[in-house]
């Protein structure tokens, strides 16, 4: 009577036994993330006896060889099949088309070849199809338009050629990923008329050409558009300005020409914009200064000219790139551009009387309009009511319930626990089903802990108004009740797979040893410094983090550092004198022993200098490999004093030995 087998992440080896087919009541078999192998696929043939089978997950094992057509004999009740991250070879059996009730088919990251069989179009219930990172060739089947329920299609990183079939415009897609193939021709207009496209539309690294259809303006709900590294030409289409929800726009590596259109001024939610390696000309539009969310902006290698703006993202040299535009001038000093020439007008100036006749009525009208706008905003703000189950986040954040997070984390399973702190625990979760897109980190607050609710509020208030590539990105928040009726609060962040800096510097007993090189440590130090510089000087309001330490520095796939955990953050009143800046909160200051600035023990005033002190301790820890509360520090000795006592010729004695051995090994190997 066994119905469910779930043995994922258990390091099992050997073959999957064929007598598993004796389990006539089995409807879910999950064996992901093991080291299981197969010789003759007899277990797959035996599973045809399991007529109730709905869920078969075998991803991240060592299954190899050619898939037999016996897969067509699996139960027609099968809804979810995942064999990704294996070593499957050969062509895809046409028998897949007989699994008529399947809704999610994932075969990503294998070595499958040949054409994608057109028989897949018979799977009318299909909602997600993931064939990315294989070696498929030839054209995308034109009958894929039959997937009227399909919401996610990923065929990226293959060798597909030919045109993109216009029939895809019949699908109800939210995600369409066709990047890193050999697709040619123009983009069909029908693709841009898919009203459901909201998460991602991408064709990067192909051979596509021609102009971008004006229908691109129909993608009013799209968050990310990526068409980089193709041969698209003409001007950047002005209808792009109608995609006002867009946050990520990548047009680099094409043949676009002409000026940057003023219509893009409507894309005020942009966080990343890349227009590099085109033939764009004219000045940099001033409206880009007002994009408060923009944290990455690349204009390099174009033909732009004139003065570089001096506000917004242009104040952060690490967030912009303008190299390869020889006629640009001005900007902040870090850009090292020549000063702009001072132009004197040769035109005859109008008389003072004429100026007054024109300007006075305009000034009066402007004052009336501003006053009216201020009054309207006041009453609108006063009458507005916040949603009951959500902290005041922008409408662009996704809404999740307690039940959604339970499902995403498999009931907050200990197997998904990736960290714990003073105010709560962090779990890895999946809010959708497409791992490349929907893997998140869920921070669940322990509301029994004193100060946890205040920490939740502080973190929401801080993260709702800051955006920077070296800060952990928040996706949403949930303030609700659990199934028992108790209060529940959680924050959902992007998942950063390389964990915390602390786990790299101080691995736990039994964990695989990972060593950061000197260059990696320098890069991380610069990343953290960039985040602090943004928080202190370039954000909407100066923010003091108050708890900077290695466990609050997280690393992404590329080992780029992101500062997180703003549960103790403080907002500062605007002031030009940092020594006079005060916290807007009078709550007792807390932090982590060893990282808190000494002056915090004498007063409840916080300043940016406190973060700088914590950053200094973090640097010493990174390059010595010792915690500030290391067991070897006794009789009043501290990490700072330990480093200070090392003379100039003894510095090598206190440097992290693991880093030195790694560095010496690299030098010897070269």
290-301, pLDDT tens digit by residue?
998 899 999 999
Of the candidate ranges 28-42, 287-301, 339-353, 371-385, the one whose mean pLDDT is the lowest: 371-385
- Chain centre distance of CA 300: 23
Q: Which fold has domain 499-670?
A: Transferase(Phosphotransferase); domain 1 (1.10.510)
**Is the predicted pLDDT of residue 384 greater than 50, yes or no?**
no
Identify which has the larger pLDDT, 158 or 359.
158
Q: Where does the pLDDT of residue 264 fall: very low under 50, low under 70, confident under 90, or very high at 90 and above?
A: very high
551-579, pLDDT tens digit by residue?
999 999 889 999 988 777 787 754 333 33
Phi and psi, residue 249, nearest 5°: -135, 120
**What does the angle CA 561 – CA 567 – CA 573 come to, to the nearest 5 degrees?**
95
The whole-number pLDDT of residue 585 equals 38
Identify which has the larger pLDDT, 431 or 105.
105
Left if phi > 0, otherwise alpha if psi is -120 to 50, otherwise beta: which for 625?
A: left
CATH number of 1-138: 3.80.10.10
Closest CA to 57 of 9, 14, 22, 11: 9
Closest CA to 262 of 223, 236, 293: 236
Q: Where in the chain is the domain with CATH 3.80.10.10?
A: 1-138, 182-339
**Is the predicted pLDDT of residue 125 greater than 70, yes or no?**
yes
Q: Where does the pLDDT of residue 134 fall: very low under 50, low under 70, confident under 90, or very high at 90 and above?
A: very high
Residue 501 host element (H or E): helix 501-505
This prediction's pTM:
0.54
d(CA 337, CA 111): 49
Out of 55, 252, 547, 565, which one is annotated catalytic?
547
Identify which has the larger pLDDT, 5 or 360.
5
Q: Where in the chain is the domain with CATH 1.10.510.10?
A: 499-670
Q: Where does the pLDDT of residue 358 fall: very low under 50, low under 70, confident under 90, or very high at 90 and above?
A: low
Average pLDDT over residues 190-203: 92
Contact by Cβ (8 Å): 174, 150: no
CATH number of 182-339: 3.80.10.10
Closest CA to 178 of 190, 189, 165: 165
CA distances from 496 to 87, 141, 432, 448 (A): 26, 35, 17, 28
CA distances from 31 to 4, 49, 133, 437, 552 (A): 11, 18, 21, 22, 33
% the chain with pLDDT above 70 = 84
**Is the predicted pLDDT of residue 646 greater than 90, yes or no?**
no
Closest CA to 108 of 460, 433, 522: 433
Average pLDDT over residues 460-477: 81
Average pLDDT over residues 80-104: 90
CATH number of 387-495: 3.30.200.20
- Rounded mean pLDDT of the chain? 83
To the query of whether residue 274 is one of the catalytic residues in this protein, the response is no
Q: Where in the chain is the domain with CATH 3.30.200.20?
A: 387-495
**Is the predicted pLDDT of residue 68 greater than 80, yes or no?**
yes
Contact by Cβ (8 Å): 614, 548: yes
Average pLDDT over residues 634-661: 77
Tell me the Cα Rg of the chain.
Answer: 29
Contact by Cβ (8 Å): 552, 618: no
589-614, pLDDT tens digit by residue?
556 888 888 777 665 577 888 889 99
**Is the predicted pLDDT of residue 379 greater than 50, yes or no?**
no
**Is the predicted pLDDT of residue 212 greater than 90, yes or no?**
yes
**Is the predicted pLDDT of residue 260 greater than 90, yes or no?**
yes
**Is the predicted pLDDT of residue 375 greater than 70, yes or no?**
no
């Amino acid at each position: 009577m066994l119905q469910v087998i779930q043995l994922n992440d258990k390091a099992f080896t050997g073959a999957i036994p064929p007598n598993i087919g004796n389990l006539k009541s089995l409807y879910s078999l999950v064996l992901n993330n093991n080291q299981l192998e197969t010789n003759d696929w007899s277990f797959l043939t035996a599973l045809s006896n399991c007529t109730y089978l709905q869920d078969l997950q075998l991803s991240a094992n060592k299954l190899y060889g050619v898939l037999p057509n016996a897969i067509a004999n699996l139960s027609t009740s099968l809804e979810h099949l995942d064999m990704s991250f294996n070593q499957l070879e050969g062509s895809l059996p046409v028998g897949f088309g007989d699994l008529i009730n399947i809704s999610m088919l994932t075969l990503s990251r294998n070595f499958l070849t040949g054409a994608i069989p057109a028989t897949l179009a018979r799977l009318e219930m299909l909602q997600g199809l993931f064939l990315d990172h294989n070696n498929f060739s030839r054209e995308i089947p034109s009958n894929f338009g039959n997937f009227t329920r399909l919401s996610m299609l990923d065929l990226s990183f293959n060798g597909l050629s030919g045109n993109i079939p216009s029939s895809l415009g019949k699908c109800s897609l939210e995600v369409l990923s066709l990047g890193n193939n050999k697709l040619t021709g123009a983009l069909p207009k029908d693709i841009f008329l898919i009203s459901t496209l909201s998460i991602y539309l991408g064709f990067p690294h192909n051979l596509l050409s021609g102009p971008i259809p004006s229908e691109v303006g129909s993608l009013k709900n799209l968050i990310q558009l990526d068409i980089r590294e193709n041969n698209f030409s003409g001007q950047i289409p002005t209808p792009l300005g109608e995609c006002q929800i867009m946050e990520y726009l990548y047009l680099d590596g094409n043949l676009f020409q002409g000026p940057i259109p003023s219509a893009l001024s409507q894309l005020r939610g942009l966080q990343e914009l890349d227009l590099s390696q085109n033939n764009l000309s004219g000045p940099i539009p001033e409206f880009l200064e007002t994009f408060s969310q923009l944290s990455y902006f690349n204009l390099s290698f174009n033909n732009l000219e004139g003065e570089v703006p001096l506000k917004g993202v242009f104040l952060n040299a690490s967030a912009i790139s303008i190299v390869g535009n020889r006629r640009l001038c001005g900007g902040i000093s870090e850009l090292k551009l020549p000063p702009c020439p001072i132009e004197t007008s040769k035109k005859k100036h109008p008389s003072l009387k004429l100026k007054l006749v024109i300007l006075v009525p305009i000034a009066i009208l402007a004052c009336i309009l501003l006053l009216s706008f201020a009054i309207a905003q006041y009453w609108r703000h006063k009458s507005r009511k916040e949603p009951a189950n959500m902290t005041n986040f922008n409408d662009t954040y996704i809404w999740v319930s307690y039940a959604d997070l339970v499902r995403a984390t498999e009931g907050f399973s200990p197997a998904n626990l990736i960290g714990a702190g003073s105010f709560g625990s962090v779990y890895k979760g999946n809010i959708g089903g497409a791992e490349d897109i929907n893997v998140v980190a869920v921070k669940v607050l322990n509301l029994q802990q004193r100060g946890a609710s205040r920490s939740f509020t502080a973190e929401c208030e801080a993260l709702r108004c800051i955006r920077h590539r070296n800060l952990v990105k928040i996706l949403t928040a949930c303030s609700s009740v659990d199934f028992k009726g108790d209060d529940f609060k959680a924050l959902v962040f992007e998942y950063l797979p390389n964990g915390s800096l602390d786990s790299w510097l101080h691995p736990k007993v039994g964990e695989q040893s990972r060593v950061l090189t000197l260059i990696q440590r320098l890069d991380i130090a610069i990343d953290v410094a960039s985040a602090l510089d943004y928080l202190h000087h370039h954000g909407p309001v100066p923010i003091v983090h108050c708890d900077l330490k290695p466990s609050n520095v997280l690393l992404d796939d590329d080992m780029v550092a992101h500062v997180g955990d703003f549960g103790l953050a403080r907002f500062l009143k605007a002031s030009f004198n940092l020594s006079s800046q005060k916290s807007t909160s009078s709550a007792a200051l807390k932090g982590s022993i060893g990282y808190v600035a000494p002056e915090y023990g004498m007063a409840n005033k916080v300043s940016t200098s406190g973060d700088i002190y914590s950053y200094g301790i973090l640097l010493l820890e990174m390059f010595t490999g010792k915690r500030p509360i290391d067991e070897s520090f006794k009789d009043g000795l501290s990490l700072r004093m330990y480093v200070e006592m090392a003379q100039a010729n003894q510095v090598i004695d206190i440097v992290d030995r693991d880093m030195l051995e790694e560095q010496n090994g690299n030098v010897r190997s070269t």
